[in-house]
Amino acid sequence: MVFSSLAERLQDTFRRLRGKGKLTEKDVEEALREVKLALLEADVNFKVVRNFINRVKERAVGEEVTTSLTPGQMVVKIVHKELAVLMGEKEEKLRVSPQPPTVVLLTGLQGSGKTTSTAKLGYYLKKQGRRPALAAADIYRPAAVRQLQVLGEKLDLPVYHSAGKDPKTITVEAVEKAGQNNNDFLLVDTAGRLHVNEELMGELQAVKEAVRPEEILLVVDAMTGQDAVNVARRFQEKLGLSGLVLTKLDSDTRGGAALSIREVTGCPIKLVGTGEKLEDLEVFYPERLASRILGMGDVLSLIEKAETTVEKDQARDLMKKIQDDQLTLEDFLAQMRQMQKMGPLEQMISMLPGVSSKQLKGIQVSEKDMKHVEAIIQSMTPQERRSPSIINASRRKRIARGSGRKIQEVNRLLNQFEQSKKMMKQFAKMGKGAIKPRLPF
User: DSSP string spanning 365-389?
Assistant: --HHHHHHHHHHHHTS-HHHHH-GG
- 250 neighbors 280 (Cβ within 8 angstroms): yes
Query: What pLDDT, on a 0 to 100 scale, did the predictor assign at position 308?
Result: 56
**Among residues 64, 84, 86, 85, which one has the least CA distance to residue 75?**
64
What is the residue-level pLDDT of the chain in tens, covering all 441 positions? 456 677 778 878 887 777 676 777 888 888 889 989 988 888 888 889 999 999 988 887 765 665 555 677 778 888 888 888 888 888 899 999 999 999 999 999 888 889 999 999 999 999 999 999 999 999 888 889 999 999 999 999 999 998 889 999 999 999 999 999 999 999 999 988 777 788 888 999 999 999 999 999 999 887 777 788 888 888 998 899 999 998 887 765 566 777 888 888 889 999 998 888 898 898 998 888 888 777 665 445 555 555 555 555 655 666 666 666 677 888 877 777 666 665 555 555 555 554 444 544 444 555 677 788 889 999 999 999 888 889 999 999 999 999 999 999 999 888 888 877 776 666 555 444 433 333 322
| DSSP character at residue 94 | P
Q: Alpha-carbon distance 418 to 441, whole Å?
A: 14
Q: Alpha-carbon distance 286 to 84, whole Å?
A: 5
CATH superfamily of this structure's domain 102-293: P-loop containing nucleotide triphosphate hydrolases (3.40.50.300)
CATH 3.30.2270.10 matches 299-431:
no
**Among residues 10, 8, 34, which one has the least CA distance to residue 83?**
10
Q: Alpha-carbon distance 11 to 295, whole Å?
A: 7
Beta pairing, strands 281-283 & 269-273: antiparallel
- 264 neighbors 44 (Cβ within 8 angstroms): no
Q: Alpha-carbon distance 418 to 225, whole Å?
A: 44
- In terms of Cβ atoms closer than 10 Å to its own Cβ (0-12, 13-18, 19+), residue 414 is middle
**What residues are paired with 137 via a beta bridge?**
190
**CATH number listed for the domain at residues 4-86:** 1.20.120.140
With H, G, I as helix, E, B as strand and everything else as coil, classify residue 246.
Answer: strand
Query: In the chain, which segments carry CATH 1.10.260.30?
Result: 299-431
pTM for the whole thing?
0.69
Query: What pLDDT, on a 0 to 100 scale, did the predictor assign at position 73?
Result: 77
- 273 neighbors 280 (Cβ within 8 angstroms): yes
Query: What pLDDT, on a 0 to 100 scale, did the predictor assign at position 363?
Result: 44
Query: In the chain, which segments carry CATH 1.20.120.140?
Result: 4-86
Q: How many CB atoms lie within 10 A of CB 210?
A: 14
Query: In the chain, which segments carry CATH 3.40.50.300?
Result: 102-293
Helix ranges (H only) for 269-366 are: 286-293, 299-309, 312-323, 329-342, 345-349, 357-360
Any residues with CB less than 8 A from the CB of 80 and at least 6 apart, and which? 287, 290, 291, 294, 296
To the nearest 10°, the Cα dihedral for 276, 279, 284, 286?
A: -70
Q: Rounded to an integer, what is the distance from CA 146 to the centroid of its chain?
A: 27
Supply the DSSP string of 33-93, one letter for each residue: HHHHHHHHHTT--HHHHHHHHHHHHHHHTSHHHHT-SSHHHHHHHHHHHHHHHHTTSS--P
Across the beta sheet with 159-160, what order do the strands follow? Answer: 159-160, 132-137, 185-190, 102-107, 215-221, 243-247, 269-273, 281-283
